[in-house]
Amino acid sequence: MKGSPRLPTAARAILAGDRRTLARVISWVENGSPSAEPVLRALYPRTHGVPVVGLTGPLGVGKSSLISTLVGLLRARGRSVAVVAVDPSSPFSGGSVLGDRIRLERRPDDAGVFFRSMASRGAAGGVATATLEVCRLLDAAGFDVVLVETVGSGQVDVAIREIATTSIVVLVPHLGDEVQTLKAGLFEIADIFCVNKSDLPGADVARRDLADLVAHGPYEGGWTPAIVSTSTTAATGTEELWSAVEAHEAFLDRTGGRRAGERRRLAAEIVGLVRDRVGRELTGRLERDPELRRLLDAVTARTLDPRSAARRLRLASPPGPEGRR
Amino acid sequence: MSGPRRPARRHPIRVLIAKPGLDGHDRGAKVVARALRDAGMEVIYAGLRQTPEEIVRAALEEDVDLIGLSILSGAHMALFPKVLKLLKAQKAGSVPVFAGGIIPDEDAHRLKKAGIRAIFGPGTSLEEIVGTAQKLARRRA
């Protein structure tokens, strides 16, 4: 790219539409490789802040199928789409089966779609950060919309709010009382509720229950969550779902919510990055630093309690820039 | 891109499991996917009825270390070389491909010559498949 000779090769390739390099750099981000950093740094000013639409909800509600229909709709409207599908890693083996691609229908030569599966890898705070950075790469690569799919069954998955500009919570009929428990977790993060599989009996009831819940506003920022019914087998509701997304995105622009939301997400990201780094540093030093090792010995010997040790640890290592030791 | 891959730390092996062609029997592929998962790999399961083009595209987008193909339809002599050819065309010929299914010995011999790195017939133990997959991925890294 002319005028930016200092851009790293990989960054330049991504801006030029090289999907192979994009895929490779996503791996760097996932692996926490230092190679990712200069690329992310170079591309950050080139991001546009495209809509990042998160779909979350319990297993089996049809998130992947909805993504496939949304991809179809967006492609029909001439918009390019990138999909990031996050699935859990096994806490035991660290492995995972990422099966969200199965639902994807697209022409194999369609460069307007990019699909990437990610495993959560169980790293503390890592999923949200890595996903955010991947979304940013996709933004810089020129995709008009990024769709992020995560499994959500409760509180953990509030992470989607740290990533998405619009969050869709996908539910199905007959979740029944579970809707009540969702109040505390998923309920609060939804900009849009999607009742999928609405061809099944009970869809009206689910919709009514949600309407009751939604009526308990007021909502921070003034947006009342929309409720949309969809069915991917009957192929209904996809347009309404996307209209609701567009309405929410337009609302963000109209009210300044986009700015505020971005600030909130960036603050959370920076805090998360610092927390990760400090944690890593301390963990590393616990074994190397003789002083800290004595502390650990004392706790092991029950002459010191963990909280007191933690307090001294913090004093021994002020949470400042890396260089300050 | 052919730049050096510099993993900062050990990361899970990413493997694509796909079924090219038209047979609908994916139990074997699923059992293998699970075994690889239990061995700590990230298995991107692409599922049934994939064209070679779709498989190669998925492998590149997912930046996998390894590709496993499962086939029971008998079309392996047409489909496997096609996958290898497309990978080469995308400068991804170094991604190892292994295969499983019902593949006669003489076909297996020819496919190995063509570049399929390992072929597992019925009755192969999961340990052997996992072990070979790990070796193939490691040799590449």
What CATH number has the domain bearing residue A55?
3.40.50.300
Domain presence at residue B65? yes
Q: Which candidate, B74, B27, B5, B136, places its Cα nearest to that of A26?
A: B5
Q: Count up the domains in chain B and report the number.
A: 1
| Tens of pLDDT, residues A54-70 | 999 888 899 999 999 99
pLDDT given for residue A211 in this prediction: 87
**Are A213 and A130 members of one domain?**
yes
| Tens of pLDDT, residues A162-184 | 889 999 999 998 876 555 655 66
pLDDT given for residue A220 in this prediction: 74
What residues make up the domain containing B72? 14-140
**Are A124 and A6 members of one domain?**
no
Domain presence at residue B56? yes
**Are A38 and A127 members of one domain?**
no
**Are A99 and A31 members of one domain?**
no
Domain presence at residue A261? no
CATH number at residue B72: 3.40.50.280
pLDDT given for residue A305 in this prediction: 97
pLDDT given for residue A129 in this prediction: 82
Domain presence at residue A161? yes
B11 touches chain A (CB under 8 A): yes
| Tens of pLDDT, residues B75-98 | 888 899 999 999 999 999 999 999
Contact B62 A116 (CB under 8 A): yes
Does the pLDDT of residue A1 top 60, yes or no? no
In percent, the amount of chain A with pLDDT more than 70 equals 88
Phi, psi for residue B3 in degrees, rounded to 5 = -60, 160
Which of A207, A230, A254 terminates a domain? The answer is: A254
For A184, the token pair is 């505390």
What is the pLDDT averaged over residues A292-314? 90
Domain presence at residue A278? yes
What is the pLDDT averaged over residues B30-54? 93
Residues in CB range of B78: below 8 A, 6 or more apart: none
| CA torsion through residues A80, A65, A125, A19, sign | negative
Q: Compute CA A214 distance to the chain's CA centroid, rounded to the nearest angstrom.
A: 23
Q: Find chain B residues with C-beta within 8 A of A9's C-beta.
A: 3
**Are A136 and A37 members of one domain?**
no
Q: Which residue has the higher pLDDT, A157 or A110?
A: A110
Which of A202, A227, A254 terminates a domain? The answer is: A254
Q: Look up the pTM and report it.
A: 0.88
Nearest CA in chain A to B12: A95
Does the pLDDT of residue A321 top 60, yes or no? no
Residues in CB range of A212: below 8 A, 6 or more apart: none
**Are A310 and A217 members of one domain?**
no
- A217 φψ region: left (φ > 0), alpha (ψ -120 to 50), beta (else): beta
Q: Which candidate, A43, A1, A33, A215, places its Cα nearest to that of A130?
A: A33
Q: Find chain B residues with C-beta within 8 A of A83's C-beta.
A: none
Q: Quote the ipTM score.
A: 0.88
Domain presence at residue B24? yes
**Are A203 and A116 members of one domain?**
yes
Q: Find chain A residues with C-beta within 8 A of B19's C-beta.
A: none
Domain presence at residue A248? yes
CA distance A273 to chain B (A): 17
Indicate the pLDDT class of residue A142, thresholds 50, 70 and 90: very high
Contact A95 B54 (CB under 8 A): no
What is the pLDDT averaged over residues B41-60? 93
**Are A75 and A167 members of one domain?**
yes
What is the pLDDT averaged over residues A11-25? 96
Contact B42 A21 (CB under 8 A): no
Q: Find chain B residues with C-beta within 8 A of A18's C-beta.
A: 1
pLDDT given for residue A215 in this prediction: 83
Which of A232, A254, A276 terminates a domain? The answer is: A254
Q: Find chain B residues with C-beta within 8 A of A119's C-beta.
A: 12, 42
Distance CA A190, CA A167 (A): 5
Nearest CA in chain B to A89: B42
CA distance A32 to chain B (A): 6
Domain presence at residue B6? no
What residues make up the domain containing A297? 266-316
Q: Which amino acid is at A30?
A: E
**A101, A163 Cβ separation under 8 angstroms:** no
What is the pLDDT averaged over residues A23-38? 93
Interface residue of B5, B36, B55, B63 to substitute, partner A, most A CBs within 10 Å: B63
pLDDT given for residue A124 in this prediction: 42
**Are A196 and A248 members of one domain?**
yes
Domain presence at residue B9? no
B24 touches chain A (CB under 8 A): no
Domain presence at residue A321? no
Domain presence at residue A259? no
Domain presence at residue A206? yes
Q: What separation in angstroms does the CA of A290 have from each of A282, A287, A295?
A: 13, 8, 9
Q: Find chain A residues with C-beta within 8 A of B44's C-beta.
A: 98-99, 101, 117
Domain presence at residue A325? no
Q: Which residue has the higher pLDDT, A46 or B8?
A: A46
Q: Count up the domains in chain A and report the number.
A: 3
pLDDT given for residue B3 in this prediction: 42
**Are A303 and A244 members of one domain?**
no
Please, what is the average pLDDT of chain A? Answer: 86
